[in-house]
Chain A
């Protein structure tokens, strides 16, 4: 008996001993990564996961290290989680030197001075980038403006659709203005009409648009286009998070439109299912189109490619066919002012929520100048273009955007035309997502309640307005009632 017990314990020990050697060796090696040895400066760069996965980060680092070999600067991957908290790591010396993030995240750090304020003049890209993008990285402290990040690219929700599933003869039936673009990619009322037709002709097997209805980022056009906003501005242009705008102007009309549209979506739009299923369901044709960010283009593309491969095409053929048949455009540009999608109106501009991603420099770096060199390098025309090629992002550099053309320059133009409402660059933004997300999915669910003959919560605009005001108030409470 006793022998047996010992054997069991030694088994357990042996299992762990096996792993000991390597695990220990690694933890030792990892520690000294950021320390400078014999005059050599090492910069730790935190990029996002996609850039790493698709190999852009590698190219960037190799190119930089090649260029700066003689100057004794070396850049390495920070090897951390993309959202790891600089406020937690930086002060104690565990953070990266340069960090790539969306403007709301980066500027939340800036508020507590975890990332440095920079001089725009230090950067070669400065005058190529429009003011809208710079504003996303501007912080006002006591009436003074500071720039805390270098904008690289713009993000906004996009419509992903299947070109090969356009209805027969759409040129004559679905192109009222004869501009060669189907109406349902140009205005929401037509998209609604077309989606309804898809659902009806397929007996509910197939759908037109199915979008993540509980996601504020994707659905914000139903607020902003109708005059709603996130936070207001003070007289000197700073963000005023006491002024919460989800119930302002005609936002309730927008919500009625959202409710109406979700009624002809599949129920997957109500929870997080859609966020994963959209790729396969657009690929297998169950959904004609869905909404997502441009960096997910590869995911849609890969799924579609798989479908074609399973149909017997070779890899390169499938790849080509997928690129051919997968369309990515901006969301339809017009919405009905009445909030009734069946009215056929297309009289107001769609304003979507967007973000600007860019580089910030940690306030805890020991090599400030080298970091500026790095960001300058990473925001150069060549690197930004490469980034766009590999990752499909839309650059904020005007020269890169116009050279790339197509959708990229469309996004760039939308930003300039004010069709993209950028996430406010303050910490309080963190507190809007959950309350509004809950409301959005409840509004969408209401459409299904109607179908199942259950009690409807938001029957008319006034009830909707009340709900919006309630949500705005709970956001206000979340931000203010408990703060000191």
Chain B
């Protein structure tokens, strides 16, 4: 017992050493390998990267003189990465501690230790979810979480305006947020755009959702022959890349476009559908164009889900004398809504952050009562104007952080209270 607890303690100091001493050679070596790798990384780059995260560079580069300096943004990114790696190693360390305790107990009980291969197999079976989620989580961590952390941190720096590489960037705390709230123009614009953004997201989501459902139901009717062919028309529309469609529609509604051509041919005067003072005209066109682009996808989805419905339910209902409308409201709708609530939420999120529609249809307009935006711009378009067109990365990041907190609060509440989240097993 005493020697085993010594072996256990070995793993507290050098992870994997205990397992190795207990005779679990491969597992022990793997843990030690990870530790060695990490130490090597720390010495060659890790420590410097962590330090760089706080300083964000000390030597300014001067390309004219050929002096290589520090690149603040790269240093920030590598700094974040070094902390993520540290977190991963800590997780491994904790797993190692847990593992050595299990081993210790097994040895204490006098049971044989499983071979590496056997324990691997049982791990894959019992903890299938860990294995299955490993790659997705790693991918999301590097390509989604890391950029998001980076961006959140940018909100606390003076990046942007005149301060872009090779100049050094500095941490400035909450200065950006103070600046946003002290400017009257920004606040007014923010709430105006937020209001429209919510109206847009709700109506676009509903239109696309019910449009797709309606189409899918229509095509599911028994009397419709050649379903694949009928379904192909929306698919063809879907196959044309979205931005091309948007440019096409922009042209159609322009002064020189076909719609105005026919209006003029009929003796009417042309209409500026997407003009400066188009207002709601442009907004409604945006909704319709967006529906045209998105309905095919939601139709595909609804078709897939409807095909999953149990026909016996309908037959039973029909025997009970339920009418078609009743069948729809009592059976189809609850089923479809249940299995697509998450989709509704994703689609809401997608529409909330729908950058393309108004960027292509009506980009580059700055209206009077708005700060660097127009009345059709969504928050994401405004962000684009702020941070890309006008180079205010820091401010843009701060605004997007605020937007992000608001929107994620809304959608998280909606999601947590949805039946799909609460009662996942309803239709099992």
Asked if B367 and A438 make an inter-chain contact with CB atoms under 8 angstroms apart, the answer reads: yes
Residues of A within 8 A of B167 (CB): 112
Residue from the list B163, B275, B364 in contact with A434, Cβ < 8 A: B364
Residues of A within 8 A of B368 (CB): 470
Asked if A442 and B276 make an inter-chain contact with CB atoms under 8 angstroms apart, the answer reads: yes
Taken together as a complex, chains A and B put the C-alpha atoms of A276 and B389 apart, in Å, by 24
Taken together as a complex, chains A and B put the C-alpha atoms of A364 and B166 apart, in Å, by 12
Residue from the list B162, B164, B175, B254 in contact with A271, Cβ < 8 A: B254
Asked if A484 and B255 make an inter-chain contact with CB atoms under 8 angstroms apart, the answer reads: no
Q: Does B272 contact A (CB under 8 A)?
A: yes
Q: Within the complex, what minimum Cβ distance (angstroms) separates A433 from chain B?
A: 8
Known: A113-B62, A438-B365. A277 touches B256 (CB 8 A): yes
Residues 276-297 of B contacting A (Cβ, < 8 Å):
276-277
Q: Count A-B contacts at CB 8 Å.
A: 106
Q: Within the complex, what minimum Cβ distance (angstroms) separates B278 from chain A?
A: 11
Q: Does A190 contact B (CB under 8 A)?
A: no
Asked if A363 and B161 make an inter-chain contact with CB atoms under 8 angstroms apart, the answer reads: no
Q: Does B390 contact A (CB under 8 A)?
A: yes
Residues of A within 8 A of B365 (CB): 434, 438
Interface string of B357-373 (1 = CB under 8 A from A): 00000001111100110
Q: Which chain B residue lies CB-closest to A454?
A: B277
Central interface residue in A433, A435, A452, A482, by most chain B CB within 10 Å? A482
Residues of B within 8 A of A113 (CB): 62-64, 166
Asked if A271 and B274 make an inter-chain contact with CB atoms under 8 angstroms apart, the answer reads: yes
Residue from the list A87, A270, A431 in contact with B255, Cβ < 8 A: A270
Asked if B366 and A272 make an inter-chain contact with CB atoms under 8 angstroms apart, the answer reads: no
Q: Within the complex, what minimum Cβ distance (angstroms) separates B106 from chain A?
A: 42
Taken together as a complex, chains A and B put the C-alpha atoms of A445 and B160 apart, in Å, by 35
Q: Within the complex, what minimum Cβ distance (angstroms) separates B389 from chain A?
A: 7
Query: Looking at chain A, what size class is its interface with the partner chain?
Result: 35 or more
Asked if A474 and B275 make an inter-chain contact with CB atoms under 8 angstroms apart, the answer reads: no
Q: Within the complex, what minimum Cβ distance (angstroms) separates B399 from chain A?
A: 10
Residues of B within 8 A of A90 (CB): 63
Taken together as a complex, chains A and B put the C-alpha atoms of A390 and B61 apart, in Å, by 41
Q: Which chain B residue lies CB-closest to A431?
A: B390
Residues of B within 8 A of A363 (CB): 63-64
Q: Which chain A residue lies CB-closest to B62?
A: A113
Q: Does B158 contact A (CB under 8 A)?
A: yes
Residue from the list A266, A272, A481, A484 in contact with B183, Cβ < 8 A: A481
Q: Does A483 contact B (CB under 8 A)?
A: yes
Taken together as a complex, chains A and B put the C-alpha atoms of A36 and B208 apart, in Å, by 55
Taken together as a complex, chains A and B put the C-alpha atoms of A146 and B279 apart, in Å, by 48
Residues 258-276 of B contacting A (Cβ, < 8 Å):
260, 269-270, 272, 274-276
Residue from the list A437, A441, A484 in contact with B172, Cβ < 8 A: A484
Q: Does B165 contact A (CB under 8 A)?
A: yes
Asked if B64 and A445 make an inter-chain contact with CB atoms under 8 angstroms apart, the answer reads: no
Q: Which chain A residue lies CB-closest to B71?
A: A91
Residues of A within 8 A of B255 (CB): 266-268, 270-271, 273
Asked if A91 and B166 make an inter-chain contact with CB atoms under 8 angstroms apart, the answer reads: yes
Residues 434-456 of A contacting B (Cβ, < 8 Å):
434-435, 437-438, 441-442, 445, 452
Residue from the list A87, A270, A430, A434 in contact with B164, Cβ < 8 A: A87
Taken together as a complex, chains A and B put the C-alpha atoms of A477 and B392 apart, in Å, by 12
Residues of B within 8 A of A267 (CB): 255, 260, 270, 272
Q: Within the complex, what minimum Cβ distance (angstroms) separates B359 from chain A?
A: 13
Asked if A273 and B254 make an inter-chain contact with CB atoms under 8 angstroms apart, the answer reads: yes
Q: Does A117 contact B (CB under 8 A)?
A: yes
Q: Does B257 contact A (CB under 8 A)?
A: yes
Q: Does B179 contact A (CB under 8 A)?
A: yes
Q: Within the complex, what minimum Cβ distance (angstroms) separates B55 from chain A?
A: 19
Interface string of B174-196 (1 = CB under 8 A from A): 01000100010100000000000
Taken together as a complex, chains A and B put the C-alpha atoms of A71 and B368 apart, in Å, by 59
Residues 464-478 of A contacting B (Cβ, < 8 Å):
470, 474, 477-478
Q: Which chain B residue lies CB-closest to A117?
A: B64
Q: Does B76 contact A (CB under 8 A)?
A: no
Residues 327-377 of B contacting A (Cβ, < 8 Å):
364-368, 371-372, 374
Asked if A445 and B277 make an inter-chain contact with CB atoms under 8 angstroms apart, the answer reads: yes
Q: Does B395 contact A (CB under 8 A)?
A: yes
Q: Which chain A residue lies CB-closest to B61?
A: A91
Q: Does A264 contact B (CB under 8 A)?
A: no
Residues of B within 8 A of A483 (CB): 160-162, 392
23 A-B Cβ contacts within 8 A?
A: A91-B71, A91-B165, A113-B62, A113-B64, A113-B166, A267-B260, A267-B272, A268-B255, A270-B255, A271-B256, A273-B254, A363-B63, A430-B389, A437-B364, A438-B276, A438-B365, A441-B275, A477-B185, A478-B372, A481-B185, A482-B160, A482-B179, A484-B158
A87-B165, A477-B372 known; 16 other A-B pairs, CB under 8 Å?
A: A91-B165, A113-B63, A113-B64, A116-B63, A267-B270, A268-B255, A271-B272, A273-B257, A274-B256, A441-B275, A445-B276, A470-B368, A481-B183, A482-B390, A484-B172, A484-B175
